[in-house]
A and B are shown apart, each in its own frame.
Chain A
Amino acid sequence: MRDLLRLPLVLALICAVAAGTLTWVRDLTGAAIEARAAEALAAALRVALPEASQFNDRSAELPALGDAFRNVHEAYEGVHDGRTVGMVFAVAGPGYGGNVEVLVGIDVSGRIAALKVLSAAGETAGLGTKITEPWFQEQFAGKGEKPLEFGTGPGQLQVITGATISARSVLASANLALQAFKELQER
């Protein structure tokens, strides 16, 4: 009968000490972990919109755009010298195996400043993962007057042979970001 009390009490005591210890470790490392995450985000945003020196989080406005934009999960306004120079959207579009994470930077004229594929972990190695190659991402820069599509002529966006689904996912995300940009501007 004594065990009925003793066993849970000992276990609870050990758990309490463990929880206390972890709270302390969490306090010690939390600041560094958050700083790293913020740094990584800022670096990625700077790649997507090089003109901006500062980014304001405007993700809170995204739900108001409606269900069509649910793949756009983050939005940042790029600012330089106190004036808006563009926006960056984080879009997660369905790829061949899981989501493809893309950052799309759009300047004030409504054209793509730069596009960066953040994660293509679910895409086929050697084929789908080609969307992370510089030539594929760089060809989006400067485009965006009209909805993007792939083509074969000079100056047109090149699709990747054998990785149509992955490439189309990036294209769709870029178009979605361009639309979101327009919607936000009209508001």
Chain B
Amino acid sequence: MRGLWADFKNGLVAENPVLRLVLGMCPALAVSTALMNGFWMGVAVIFVLTGSNLLISLIRGFIPSRVRIPCFIVVIATFVTAVDLTMNAFLPEMHHILGIFVPLIVVNCIILARAEAFASRRPVLNAVADGLGMGLGFTLALMVVSAVREILGTGNLVINGVALFGKGLPFDPAKVMVLPPGAFITLGLAVAALNYLTRKPSARRLGSREEVRA
């Protein structure tokens, strides 16, 4: 029961799956072309991660360690298929845009890593807190990256079909930002920004020796 909040918070910044652990790069780079894509991809991952963490933690005493990986994969694949079918039924347009990246959540290393490293050795509530935190961290990172790419690449930001900036911002959109190179550039800068912001205040000055030793 102890440390629920700490387990939840861990995934947001300290061990953010995308910006710190650099896991789940495939969807993070590929679908982060528009804010809503990033958001719904994140929602799908939150559901799968929380669900699989919950279930794996529940049955952790029952799974023999020698077949734990196949067991984890079956549990994860079940949640992913459920999400895929649900999105196909009720969010068909988003399902079409996210395409192959929803089924590919099965092989997303964040999910298996959390199952193996966390859920299979902790109590249920901690596992759920970890799943929610990690999932939310993934979602926030994707939303930041995709918002930057959408604004710079299209000159606008669309939320639920409503364009926030009307006819678009007064600059010529750099199309490269919504193409694959833009994903790498934005993600790299986001990782750098998070590292800079979370440094100890005393080490903020560039080139500080303190930072290197820490």
A residues at B contact (CB < 8 Å): 3, 6-7, 10-11, 14-15, 18, 21-22, 25-26, 29, 32-33, 36, 40
- How close is B92's CB to chain A, nearest CB, in angstroms? 5
The list of the 5 closest CB pairs from A to B, nearest first, reads A32-B89, A29-B89, A18-B78, A29-B85, A25-B82
Size of the B side of the interface (Cβ < 8 Å), in residues, is 20
Chain B contacts of A7 at CB under 8 A? 64, 66-67
A25 near B71 (CB under 8 angstroms)?
no
| Whole-angstrom CA separation of A126 from B84 in the bound complex | 31
Alpha-carbon separation in the docked complex, A97 to B209 (Å): 55
Determine if B62 is an interface residue (Cβ-Cβ < 8 Å).
Answer: yes
24 A-B residue pairs with Cβ-Cβ distance under 8 Å, sorted by A, are A3-B64, A7-B66, A7-B67, A10-B62, A10-B63, A10-B64, A10-B67, A10-B71, A11-B70, A11-B71, A11-B74, A14-B63, A14-B74, A18-B75, A21-B82, A25-B81, A25-B85, A29-B85, A29-B86, A29-B89, A29-B90, A32-B90, A33-B88, A36-B92
Verify A18–B74 contact, CB threshold 8 A. Answer: yes
- B68-103 vs A, CB cutoff 8 Å, 1 = contact: the mask equals 001100110110011001101110100000000000
Q: Which residue of A lies closest to B87 (CB)?
A: A29
Interchain CA distance A14-B58 in the complex, whole Å? 13
A158 to B188, CA, bound (A): 46
Task: For the complex formed, measure the closest distance between the CB of A18 and the CB atoms of chain B, giving whole angstroms.
Answer: 4
User: Considering the complex, which residues of chain B in the window 32-78 have a beta carbon less than 8 Å from any beta carbon of chain A?
Assistant: 59, 62-64, 66-67, 70-71, 74-75, 77-78
Report the minimum CB–CB distance from B165 to chain A (whole Å).
25
